[in-house]
Structure 1
Amino acid sequence: MPIGFRIRPVTDRVDPALCERARKIPAANIGDVMNRMQSMRGGFRAFGGLRTIAGPAFTVRAWPGDNLMLHRAVDMAEPGDIIVCDGGGGLDCALMGDLMLGHATARGIQGVVMDGAVRDIAELAQMKIGVWARGHTPAGPTKEGPGEIGTTLACGGLSVAPGDLIVADEDGVVVVPRAEAEAVITAAEAHQAKETAITAAIRGEGWDRGWVAEALRAKGCEGA
C-alpha cells in the first residue's frame, strides 16, 4: 500500500468496561497519574453537545484542508469509537461540519478529536456527540487526499495508536495507551478519591497545608 493512501482495519480496542470507568473520572486526574505526560497540548476546544467522552481511538491522518479520508473514517468507525484526526493543525479550512458530524452521530460514533478546524458550531453544540478541535472557520475543505486510516499518528503533541483510550472533557484530551489502560484507570480512581477527600476537608475542618512548607524546606528554601 502506498504511504499516504492506505486504510488499515482497527481491530484491537480498549475494553469497553474501562471506557465506562474512565468516563466517570476527570481527564485531569487521569493525566496526573501518567505523570502529566499524556495530556494533549492546550488549545483544543469542546464544540459538541457531549462534554465528556471516553472510548477507543479510531485514527485518521488527513492532509491539511482535505477531508476525503475523514469521510471514509466516519463510514468505518464503530459505535462508541472516538475519531482522532491529525489534520496538521490547519485552521484555514474546516475538516468537519454539521453534515459529517450528524452522520457520525447517527452511526453511534461517540466523539471526534481534531487537530484542525470544524464549522457549523451552533449546530454542533446541539448534537449528541463530543467534538474537540483547534478552532473553527466557515471555509470548507477539498476532497482529494492524501490520508490514512488505522495507523499510528501524532495529535496534540502525542502519539496515538488505533484502539488507545481517549478521554476528553472541558479541560481537554488525554491519551491512555491501550496496554496500560487498566493500571492507569485504577490509579486514577484512587487519585480521584483522594481529591474528593481534600474537597470535603476544604469545606469542613480545612485543608492541612503543612506539606507545602515541608516541600520547600526539603529543597533548601530560605524562610520556609
Structure 2
Amino acid sequence: MSFKTSDLYDRHGDTLRVCEPIFRDFGGRSRSAGAIVTVKCFEDNSLVKSTLAEPGEGRVLVVDAGGSLRCAMLGDLIAASAVEQGWAGVILFGCVRDSRELAGMPLGIKALAAIPRKSQRRGEGQRDLPVTFAGARFAPGDWIYCDEDGIVVADQPLD
C-alpha cells in the first residue's frame, strides 16, 4: 500500500476524522485500508468471530469493544480466519492475545493492548451500526486508512 495517512490528511484535511493515538500495531502489516464493517460488543467476541469468518473482500472490521482491558477479543485462530477470508485489517477498541502469532500474519491489526485472558461467547453484540471511540466516528461503508502514523476515516475512498 502506497498511501500515507499524513499525506491523506494534508490533501483532505478537515474532511477526515482522525483517531486519537491510543492504538498499537499487532498484525504483520502496519498499513491497511478498506471499507468499514462494524461490530459493537463487550467482552464477548462471538460477532467478531462470525464476521471474520465471512468473505472480507479487502474490508476492515472496526470493533467497539468498549475499551475493555479485561479480556482479548481477537486471537490467532480468529485472525487466521480473517486472513483466509481476505480481510485487510481489524481495528479493535479492546485487547488481543497471541500477539507473537498475530505479528506474523499478513493482516493489519490495531488494538489497545495484549492480554492472555479470552473473552466469553454468549452470542451478544450488534453489527453494522455507527460506533464512536478514540475521538472518531466509524460507520459501515466509510473508508479507513491505517499506517504507522495513525488512523484516518473518510466518507468515501480517497485518491
Unaligned stretches of 5+ in structure 1?
A: 1-22, 187-224
Equivalent position amino acid for 2:41 in 1: A
Work out which of the residue numbers 111, 115, 128 in structure 2 matches 1:133: 111
TM-score (structure 2 length as normaliser): 0.92
Number of residue-to-residue matches in the alignment:
158
Structure possessing the higher relative contact order (Cα contacts under 8 Å, 6 or more residues apart): 2
Moved over 4 A (4+): none
Instruction: Report deviation, 1:77.
Output: 4.7
1:55 is aligned to 2:22: no
CA–CA distance in structure 1, aligned partners of residues 87 and 25 of structure 2: 16
Q: Which has the higher strand share?
A: 2
Match of 2:71 in 1: 93
Q: Indicate conservation of the 8 Å contact 2:54/2:85, yes or no.
A: no
Identify if the C-alpha distance between structure 1 residues 74 and 107 changes in structure 2 by more than 3 Å, giving closer, same or farther. Answer: same
Cα RMSD of the aligned pairs, angstroms, is 1.6
Q: Give the % identical residues.
A: 33
For residues 142-161 of structure 1, what are the structure 2 equivalents within 5 Å? 142-161=120-139
CA–CA distance in structure 1, aligned partners of residues 55 and 64 of structure 2: 16
Match of 1:35 in 2: 14
CA–CA distance in structure 2, aligned partners of residues 78 and 127 of structure 1: 15
Unaligned stretches of 5+ in structure 2?
A: none
Classify the secondary structure of the residue corresponding to 2:18: coil
Deviations 1:42-65 (A, max 9, x none): 1111110011111111111111x2
Instruction: Report deviation, 1:73.
Output: 1.1
Find the structure with the greater CA-based Rg. 1
Instruction: Report deviation, 1:36.
Output: 8.2
Q: Indicate conservation of the 8 Å contact 2:15/2:154, yes or no.
A: no
1:45 is aligned to 2:34: no
Q: Indicate conservation of the 8 Å contact 2:16/2:152, yes or no.
A: no
